[in-house]
Structure 1
Amino acid sequence: MRKYRMELIMACLLLISFYFLSRQAAAVSVWMNSEEVEKKENVIVLDPGHGGSDPGMIGIDGLEEKNINLSVTLLLKEKLEEKGYTVVLTREEDKGLYDESAQNKKAQDLQRRIALIDETAPALTVSIHQNSYHDPAVKGPQVFYYETSPEGKELAVVLQERLNVMLEVERPREIKGNTSYYLLKRSKSILVIAECGFLTNPEEAELLQTKEYQEKVAAALAEGIHSYLQKR
């Protein structure tokens, strides 16, 4: 009988120990998961479009899109890092993400951008571009999102509003849904394309080449990104 009591007490102690250990493990698991979520929410991918042998849009006087994309992106990176975000760039210099021996450099470049974005699994991605149109009177920034993505649309709305206000756009453009752009279709995370202006408009093309205006564009995008993530 005494032996039975001892076994019963030991069993109870084991059960109590198991209960507290389980609660401690669960707490550690929750803490780790929260840390992982916080880390993910703090990471942003910036994609300066084109690069290398791909100049992107050609504007007035042979103005190439790729260089403006990179300049704006580097400024935006600085502003986001000042706000405490971790920023990953798809390119940091005038190079494409392709092998020189590739038969289709453009396709390989886009595939590698998507692979980098998916591997990073950021809170969001913004691809920086410049626009063009046959009518030189058309101007103004415009943000594109994947048509069936409510998160992408929400981000696009915030960025468009910040660009329109902070750049003092006379005739504000509206966001535009799209289902054909490769990056929008293939990205597993939230991704929008920010067309900062039209290189075919004389006034805007001149502005986009200045450090002062590029700073304004970067500031507007940084404010929009921060606002969006704070709401989430």
Structure 2
Amino acid sequence: MRQKIELMITVLLLAGLIFASRKVSRYAASDNVKDVAGNKVVVDAGHGGSDPGKIGINGLEEKEVNLAIAQYVEELLEKEKIEVVMTREKDEMLSEDSGEKTKIGDMKMRVEQINKEKPLLTVSIHQNSYPQEEIKGAQVFYYTHSGEGKKAAEIMQESLLVLDDTNHRKAKANDTYYLLKRTESPTIIVECGFLTNAEEAGLLKQEEYQKKVAEAIVAGIKAYMEK
């Protein structure tokens, strides 16, 4: 009798462990992509309005480059029949018309919009800077604890090689960027180039190069969606 009871307890414990492991597995697999909306992509042009972002070695303002590339991305995605939501479509800080006219207010509004849309992926477009002028190369950032974010960032980093096949930068994890931490669906930040590098700043000022960057970003988005 005692052996039967012990056997039943063992079976119940094993069943519990299997159930728990399956639950954890489902959670880990879904990561932060649960309840996303179809093939919707949010394109976030960083900075805007009274927040110019980084100022290039040639006087180029980051906010202008970000918006130009974002608009080309939007156009290309729409041609691919992919639903696009833009966080901004003009030179504005999102919080300028609200009671909280601050950078953090702007970031909060971006996060709120992204979480409301529940996209398959959010791509935030930015430009980089560094004290040493020779530093260059596009790089993609993702939230440290997002498996889907990591996957999207690595695919995007590879797609950006078309801009410079000598770029050895890797997709990089980050657990401090507000946008990455607060968005509930996979989000990546694409730093398209360094405005403090004369070569890249010169390229990023050109419309044709901005379109080339947009094409690379769209290729990365499509590749992620197909995985």
| Structure 1 match to 2:42 | 45
SS at match of 1:128: strand
AA of the residue aligned to 1:226: K
- 8 Å CA contact 2:42–2:86 kept in 1: the answer is yes
Cα distance in 1, alignment partners of residues 218 and 154 from structure 2 = 14
- 8 Å CA contact 1:53–1:96 kept in 2: the answer is yes
CA 1:152 to 1:39, structure 2 compared with 1: closer, same or farther past 3 Å? closer
Q: Map of 1:76-115 to 2, 5 A cutoff?
A: 76-99=73-96, 102=99, 105-115=102-112
| Structure 2 match to 1:177 | 173
Q: TM-score, normalised by structure 1?
A: 0.80
Deviations 1:180-217 (A, max 9, x none): 00000000010000000000000000000111111111
Find runs of 4+ consecutive structure 1 residues off by over 4 angstroms: 100-104
AA of the residue aligned to 1:124: L
CA 1:225 to 1:98, structure 2 compared with 1: closer, same or farther past 3 Å? same
- 8 Å CA contact 1:140–1:169 kept in 2: the answer is no
Q: TM-score, normalised by structure 2?
A: 0.82
Match of 1:66 among 60, 63, 67: 63
Match of 2:163 among 155, 160, 167: 167
| Structure 2 match to 1:128 | 125
Deviations 1:108-128 (A, max 9, x none): 100000000011111110000
Structure 2: any 5+ residue segments left out of the alignment?
Answer: 1-33
The structure with the larger Rg is 1
| Structure 2 match to 1:15 | none
Q: Please report the RMSD computed on the Cα atoms of aligned residues, expressed in angstroms.
A: 1.7
Cα distance in 2, alignment partners of residues 106 and 228 from structure 1 = 30
- Indicate the structure with greater helix content: 1
Cα distance in 1, alignment partners of residues 200 and 209 from structure 2 = 10
| Structure 1 match to 2:199 | 203
- 8 Å CA contact 2:136–2:200 kept in 1: the answer is yes
Cα distance in 2, alignment partners of residues 49 and 56 from structure 1 = 8
SS at match of 1:98: helix
Cα distance in 2, alignment partners of residues 58 and 174 from structure 1 = 24
Cα distance in 2, alignment partners of residues 186 and 64 from structure 1 = 26
SS at match of 2:37: helix
